[in-house]
Amino acid sequence: MRRRVPSPKGSPAPVSQTPSQTLPLLDLVDSHCHLDFPDLLADRDQVLARAAAEGVNRMVTICTRLKNEPTVRAIAEAHPQVFYAAGTHPMHAADEPLASVEELVALARHPRFVGIGETGLDYHYTADSKAIQHTSLRVHIEAAQDTGLPLIIHARDADADMEALLAEGLAHRPFGCVMHCFSSGHRLAEAALEMGFYLSISGIAAFPKSQDLRDIFAKAPLDRLLLETDSPYLAPPPYRGKRNEPAYVAHTARAMAPVFGLTVEAFAAQTTANFDRLFPRAARASKAA
């Protein structure tokens, strides 16, 4: 989750009128969205329908405060294409009760629960709570290790500490991890990839001034990349500044495929295969459906 101002409530962003009639239908996953946030509540059914029309066949909705976990879980239970993850966002670490490993492990028993987080470090908005953020992150790492579910990381203006804490956890026991909405520097990208982790591409990468970020992704192994919206935030062009929604992951895919010399169909297929590898519980549930 990144704090950007979505469009006013009741004013959803414009959408393509007939995407499936004008462009090839893709097989996409939005690996990180926030369907419980107020800006996506009023027209959630239409949001999901527009996602399906763009070929976004699955999505993971993320709980950022554990007290909201029942609400987020109910969304995943109500929609077969929606899975969920839960954790304490680093910006909430100081004002939420510290999660325990046991609490997270218990939540993870739900069959629609596919990841631990989002968790991480945010020194941009909440640098004054570094100590509790570190403690919270260590708890989430241990929960990921205990459950075998991937860790979902938010990192902002905290690259050195982020690298150190992930390496510290990995030195004890292995775990999977995705650097969600990656917009950090080359060093953290390289370190995360060296640790076997994944980078997730959001609409930020499609912004005209994001060439440095596109260069980071271009150097990453293709089998370590995911796509996401982080909706309702960070809509890609042509909807930048408007409310984001899962359908728009298709715009990010179309913008980024040429960076890798791929067709959008091939890029979509690759990132979807990567998602299934990192999130095997979601992959198994989808195959069983």
The residue with greater pLDDT, 244 or 13, is 244
Mean pLDDT for 86-106 is 98
Is 80 exceeded by the pLDDT of residue 172?
yes
Question: Which pLDDT tens digit goes with each residue over 108-120?
Answer: 999 999 999 999 9
Is there a contact between 182 and 152 (Cβ–Cβ < 8 Å)? no
Flag whether pLDDT at 14 surpasses 50: no
Burial 246-271 (b: 16+ CB within 10 A, else e): bbbbbbbbbbbbebbebebeebbebb
**Backbone φ, ψ for residue 201 (5° rounding):** -95, 125
Is 1's pLDDT higher than 80?
Answer: no
Cis peptide before 238 (omega within 30 of 0): yes
- Name the domain count of the chain: 1
Nearest to 85 by CA among 157, 149, 156, 175: 149
Does residue 7 belong to any structural domain of this protein? no
Mean pLDDT (whole number) for 125-152: 98
Q: Is residue 147 part of a domain?
A: yes
- Show the domain range for 151: 20-288
Nearest to 230 by CA among 255, 200, 193, 269: 200
Q: Which among 215, 226, 220 is positioned nearest to 191, based on CA atoms?
A: 220
Q: What is the pLDDT of residue 16?
A: 40
Q: 145 in a domain, yes or no?
A: yes
Q: What is the mean pLDDT of the chain?
A: 93
Is 273 inside a domain boundary?
A: yes
Specify the length of the chain in residues.
289
27-59 pLDDT per residue, tens: 999 999 999 999 999 999 999 999 999 999 999
DSSP reduced 3-state for 261: coil
Res 5: pLDDT = 36
Return the CATH number at 34: 3.20.20.140
For residue 74, the surrounding DSSP H or E stretch is helix 69-78
Does a structural domain hold residue 5?
no
247 lies in some domain: yes
